[in-house]
Structure 1
């Protein structure tokens, strides 16, 4: 698949080439005071249903380097996605590197708990000057183990999904779950299934159909429909088809973005109505209801709305910058940082 860092940089630079200044919200200008930097919250307790393997720890560096190459710029605001706290991943700030012209660095969640963004505020950047805001995180990720075989029968497709799940039941960018082709395929795969199958087994049928009918081929990201037309795709296209089929069958499902890869998650509930997300690998070895590799998780979801870009539906919360050139100057350049150390 196309790597997230490359795509986000491309999107950000395309915004910088806009012919008109971009207006942003008024920023605090308390330059005489020390910078104020936001801290990350601890992850919520792990669900009783999720089984986790041995943890793997490492460091991940995220941030941006902004240079006023075409003259002075004011009111610069930069958004960068950072590693996500979730059941299987703990994140802690290890080191911060902020130049003095960075006024503040805060954090915010998008789509509830699907992505965390670092928001960098730079009130003024003189011509030729560079501002840097980079954070190194200690990230501890654990592989997700499959449920015990005798436990899978208790998981059901939710009859009355909670409001927070509804966005994972409808169409989203690259996941055309309402299209007739997707609905017809879902009915075809499950229509001939044994009536005695559990809901877990029915979702597994959809997963196996994708692995068997869509050849894995490295390439550009494809939508679910394009993948079905071509009969091949990388991790993104395969995940998109599986997610679309799940949603057409009433199963909440979403994309998980990790460093240089993505896979799917689907949601089922136990007899008491308590739900759990289960991963499904889309490349390499078959892995349904589990994630044997501990990769750094960046975002979960596939339809994001960012306050500064409310008209855009984004597959993931892209790195983004906006600012106002001073007296005819041009837009600054941005180098986004995302690297595993």
Structure 2
């Protein structure tokens, strides 16, 4: 399981620190990536399998309990398009309290819904929702893999996926030693097989065990970890060997992707299931992709974040903190 906020499908009460801030939130920056259109144009590396479509309702509910609220600002992540996922807004709802609902992209790998509420009277309830139609394909591995190679040179968009991220400790000497030993054992393998050897090593040396988030190094040291740890260790070992890799977040789970180029120099992201049934270069999942990446610069956090979670700020919270619910519901068909 994943320990990040997106793991929860159901409507759930959120315990939030209310920051008494008056400055407007600055523009967000995040990891760089290709646009969905660019990715789809060069998506021949993966093969799309059966698709499933769901309607997803995302939003925020704020109830004033002890007095009026002023200056409410909240954000919540929403899915975006990928070669294997299509997203369409089908409905938007907002109570009379809501001044503005807008959407912003962090880097090119995730999107937030921003909600601005100037005032909520005592006992009042403000809410804003967007309903999305999300079509998600499972992925089949390429039929031929010999032609895929590790990129000899990466452009700006890929550099973040070769560096350290929170809990992906590419500078750790123990992890680097394993990465170097794996590379030293390569001889006639194709680059696809080299990445696969990293994948198999992680699954052979780290046993799945549910628990608190502890990162790649601790998983290597303990020999145990859940989907976040197995994904993080695989990603770290790839990055140290100059293979771009990143985390994919879905409800209740995460898995890694790695990047190779075809014979024409076109780049492709390939998934693999670090925790669970073996799936390398393919992905049988139909759960909605919430975001991709693991090293985001988010305005209301001093430290970089591996996942962009929900956020709430109230300038004047009244006598008692409000009751807040962030919503991510799959609607019945």
TM-score, with structure 2 as normaliser: 0.89
- Asked if 1:221 is matched to 2:209, the reply is no
**Aligned pair in 2 of structure 1 residues 252, 82: CA closer, same or farther (>3 Å)?**
same
Contact 1:102–1:131 (CA<8 Å) still a contact in 2? yes
- Report what 2:147 is aligned to: 154
Instruction: Give 1:12 deviation, angstroms.
Output: 6.5
| In structure 2, C-alpha distance between the alignment counterparts of 1:147 and 1:92, rounded to whole Å | 28
Aligned to 1:256: 248
The answer for the alignment partner of 1:5 in structure 2 is: 5
**1:302 lines up with 2:294 in the alignment:** yes
Residue in structure 2 matched with residue 86 of structure 1 by the alignment: 82
C-alpha contact (below 8 Å) 2:6/2:309 kept by paired residues: no
Distance 2:99 2:190 in 1: 55
- TM-score using structure 1 length: 0.87
Distance in 1 separating the partners of 2:65 and 2:121 = 9
- The answer to whether residue 193 in structure 2 is matched with residue 201 in structure 1 is yes
* Equivalent of 2:156 in 142, 163, 178: 163
Q: Is the 8 A contact 1:5 1:338 kept in 2?
A: no
Structure 1 6/264 Cα, relative in aligned 2: closer, same or farther at 3 Å?
closer
Q: Distance in 1 between matches of 2:304 and 2:289?
A: 21
Gaps of 5+ in 1: 28-41
State how many pairs are aligned: 318
Q: Distance in 2 between matches of 1:267 and 1:249?
A: 12
- What SS class does the counterpart of residue 13 from structure 1 fall into? coil
In 1: Cα distance, 2:316 partner to 2:104 partner: 26
Work out which structure has the larger RCO, using CA pairs closer than 8 Å and 6 or more positions apart in sequence. Answer: 2
Report Cα offsets for 1:23-50 as digits up to 9, x if no partner: 23189xxxxxxxxxxxxxx952352322
Contact kept, 8 Å, 1:4 with 1:259, in 2: the verdict is no
Distance 1:231 1:88, change over 3 A: same
Separation of aligned partners in 2, 1:6 and 1:26: 22
Report SS of the residue matched to 1:154.
coil
> For residues 220 and 80 of structure 1, what CA distance do their matches in structure 2 show?
23
1:238: Cα distance to partner?
0.4
Quick one: distance in 2 between partners of 1:332 and 1:159? 53
Q: Is the Cα–Cα contact under 8 Å of residues 73 and 329 in structure 1 kept in the other structure?
A: no
Matched residue, 1:234: 226
Alignment counterpart, residue 138 of structure 1, candidates 133, 142, 147? 133
Is 2:325 the counterpart of 1:335? yes
Secondary structure of the structure 2 residue equivalent to 1:15: coil
- Checking the alignment, whether the CA contact within 8 Å between 1:43 and 1:90 is kept in structure 2 is no
1:319 matches 2:310? yes
Whole-angstrom CA distance in 1 between matches of 2:36 and 2:176: 36
Is 1:73 aligned with 2:69? yes
44, 48, 52: which is aligned to 1:52?
48
* Residues in 2 aligned to 1:50 and 1:234: alpha-carbon distance in whole angstroms: 26
CA distance in 2, matches of 1:181, 1:198: 26
Task: Give the alignment of 1:270-285 within 5 angstroms.
Answer: 270-285=262-277
Q: CA RMSD in A?
A: 2.3
Cα distance per residue 1:196-229 (max 9 Å; x no partner): 1111111110000011111111222230011111
- Higher mean Cα deviation, 254-263 or 118-127? 118-127
Structure 2: gaps (5+ residues): 27-34
Aligned to 1:106: 102
Pair 12,167 (structure 1): closer, same or farther in 2 beyond 3 Å: farther
User: 1:92 is paired with a residue of what secondary structure?
Assistant: strand
Offset of residue 144 of structure 1: 1.1
Contact 1:24 1:75 in 2 (8 A): no
> Alpha-carbon deviation of 1:2?
3.6
